[in-house]
Chains A and B, each alone.
Chain A
Amino acid sequence: MAMLNTQPNLAKADDFYARLIAVHDGLSDDASMALNARIILLMANHIGDQEVLEQVLAAAKLD
């Protein structure tokens, strides 16, 4: 079974984090929420693997 990688995997973590925040600059809460939804959908499609996605959903709940 494909496993979700929860170990550090971003070469430049600070850069990505800064970009993720910056892309929301100037957006209303509603617009940000919509942008986040689009980001999630694009990433989910890129991952593609239903098993990995299930693990993402579970891991994100933090319980």
Chain B
Amino acid sequence: MFDDRYTLAFKRYPYKKSPDQDAATPVRHPVVVMGGGPIGVATALDLGQQGIPVLVLDDHEGVGMGSRAICFAKRCLEIADRYGCGKPMVEKGVVWNLGKVFHKDRKVFEFNLLPEEGHEYPAFINMQQPYFESFMLDRFEAMQAEGAPLEVRGKNRVENVIPHDDYVEIEILTPDGTYTIEADWLIGCDGASSPLRTMLGYDFTGKVFQDSFLIADIKMKSENFPTERWFWFEPTHGQGASTLLHKQPDDVWRVDFQIGWDVDRKEEMKEENIRRRLDAFLGEGVDYEMVWSSIYTFQCKRMDNFRHGRVFFAGDAAHQVSPFGARGANSGMQDVDNLGWKLGMVIRGEAPDTLLDTYNEERVHGADENILNSTRSTDFITPKSKVSHVFRNAVLDLAEHYDFARPIVNSGRLSVPCTYDGLSLNGPDALIGGPARSRPGSPCPDAPLGDGFLLGQLGSRFQILTIDADAPDSVTEDGVTATRMALSAADDTTGALADRYLGTTKSGVYLIRPDQHVAARWDSYDETALRAALRKACGKE
């Protein structure tokens, strides 16, 4: 029997028998992705755009019902935009900037994310995770229709994996029994409890937090609940040690109660008990409909190594963080963004296999940053000793009266992309006076350009971005071509381009990677230096 482990929000890829199941010998695929969650589908989009055939295997037939992630950050949307599905997300999502922090029933302070002007995408949108996944699947299907070599097989559960030096054997269970395929490369995007990790015996280490959270997504037609993030420490309604209220599309609000470690899950999940908490929180007479609820606990953990030969791990399978800060799906998208171009180059024979080790180097760096931030938020929200509780409340009490304490209040440090400072692929930072935010290793900041924006016009390949500087139209080094994009500071009358890429200087030359991270920068074009940086960025040094 093939049992579902969860219910579906959208059935997208019903099981269909594949000819592979009747093949006499196992069929070989270039890339197999295990898991069709957001990260697995994004991986397929990245590689599919490069024309690389990808087979996604998922043990369900579509998008899971649980909303889980609601906050999607700018960088994640910019990546989705490169995959051709960022715009519908922003259309559907709720853009928010205001947050309020309460302690007991007093407002401690409010903050405004004050988004910087001149970016195509907002700092954050809120949207139910099933929509996020659906927009990517829409794109997946559109690419298939355009002839991209992409395939997803529903009700295909990976049951065993045998890695070899030059390929991976994959045993799959379906409603019609088992079959075996082979893959040149396998990418495990099979979620936080990753069966692949278990099959291969890899550790997942870190910290488990002893607290549970009850989530209720509720639909309300009330005007009293605005498009803001409201967070209570020690709310007086008595329903838990903290509460979060945050708006999503379709008049749905996320309510998240911290309810402690020793709870009877079954009791807590009864609708009448959830309603009791909600009524105490919302007050009498608020009408709402329950859309989804769940109890979750969490951990901050990661694998020691995200690459094991021909097997990669990405997304929650590789690392898990607490939801405070919205760093789960947002960082998983950055994994994909990082792995996609590297694997593409290695498959095309443009770069050595060792380039793939830098996926591990760079994304472990990212995961550690996310784990650090989310662990600190968790320690602030759920203090685990008397003294940490005393300090936490001292910060809240002071924040109500004095500005200095407000930045110490930590109800989640919201996801920002990491800069790969000091890592192997970075070339020189030879732009004196250049702004820190676009130093080598940084994701390129967006800026207005013509009728559109810079990032939408930078492609998914190596580029030489020149601003008021000369350079050849393209440079080819050892089979890899970097193409020039020639700009002038005057192209952006708002001054954002100059501010974000030139700082106090007048001209600049940037080498930009296919994932739109800066590889190196100079004040003028130097052929030898650029060639060396291009080699380095491809893992050839």
Q: What residues of chain A have their CB less than 8 Å away from a CB belonging to chain B? A: 30, 33-34, 37-38, 40-42, 45
Contacts and interface: CB of A to CB of B under 8 A. Distances in A.
Contact of A42 (B390, B393, B398): B398
B407 to A, nearest CB: 10
A7 B478 CA distance: 64
Contacts of B387: 33
Contacts of A40: 391, 394
A8 B408 CA distance: 31
A20 to B, nearest CB: 16
Contact of B391 (A30, A37, A42, A45): A37
Contacts of B120: none
A23 to B, nearest CB: 15
Contacts of A34: 390, 393-394, 397
18 contacts: A30-B390, A34-B390, A34-B393, A37-B391, A37-B393, A37-B394, A38-B397, A38-B398, A40-B394, A41-B391, A41-B394, A41-B398, A41-B405, A41-B408, A42-B398, A42-B402, A45-B404, A45-B405
Nearest to A38: B394
B394 to A, nearest CB: 4
A46 to B, nearest CB: 9
A53 B404 CA distance: 16
Contacts of A30: 390
Interface string B369-403: 00000000000000000010011011101100010
Contacts of B393: 34, 37
Nearest to A37: B394
A45 B405 CA distance: 8
Interface centre among A33, A40, A41 (most CB of B within 10 A): A41
Interface in B458-497: none
Contacts of A33: 387, 390
Given A37-B393, A41-B391, A42-B402, 14 more contacts: A33-B387, A33-B390, A34-B393, A34-B397, A37-B390, A37-B391, A37-B394, A38-B394, A38-B397, A40-B394, A41-B394, A42-B398, A42-B404, A45-B405
Contacts of A41: 391, 394-395, 398, 405, 408
Contacts of B391: 37, 40-41
Tell me what chain B mostly uses at the interface: helix, strand, loop, or mixed. Answer: helix
Tell me whether chain A's interface is mostly helix, strand or loop, or mixed: helix
Contacts of A37: 390-391, 393-394
Is the interface on chain B under 10, 10 to 19, 20 to 34, or 35 or more residues? 10 to 19
A27 B402 CA distance: 23
Contacts of B394: 34, 37-38, 40-41
Contacts of A45: 404-405
A35 B390 CA distance: 9
A38 B397 CA distance: 8
Interface string B396-435: 0110001011001000000000000000000000000000
A36 to B, nearest CB: 8
A38 to B, nearest CB: 5
Contacts of B395: 41
Which 4 residue pairs of A and B lie closest in terms of their CB atoms, listed nearest first?
Answer: A37-B394, A45-B404, A38-B394, A37-B391
Nearest to B386: A33
A34 B393 CA distance: 8
Contacts of A42: 398, 402, 404
A37 B395 CA distance: 8
Nearest to B407: A45
A34 B402 CA distance: 16
Contacts of B398: 38, 41-42
A38 B404 CA distance: 12
Most buried by A among B394, B395, B404: B394
A38 B402 CA distance: 11
A40 B394 CA distance: 10
A37 B397 CA distance: 10
Nearest to B393: A34
B233 to A, nearest CB: 14
A40 B395 CA distance: 10
A17 to B, nearest CB: 22
A38 B396 CA distance: 10
Interface string B492-527: 000000000000000000000000000000000000
Nearest to B408: A41
A24 to B, nearest CB: 14
Interface in B63-94: none
A41 B401 CA distance: 13
A42 B397 CA distance: 12
A63 to B, nearest CB: 19
A46 B390 CA distance: 20
B349 to A, nearest CB: 48
Interface string B266-295: 000000000000000000000000000000
B296 to A, nearest CB: 31
A57 B391 CA distance: 15
B109 to A, nearest CB: 15
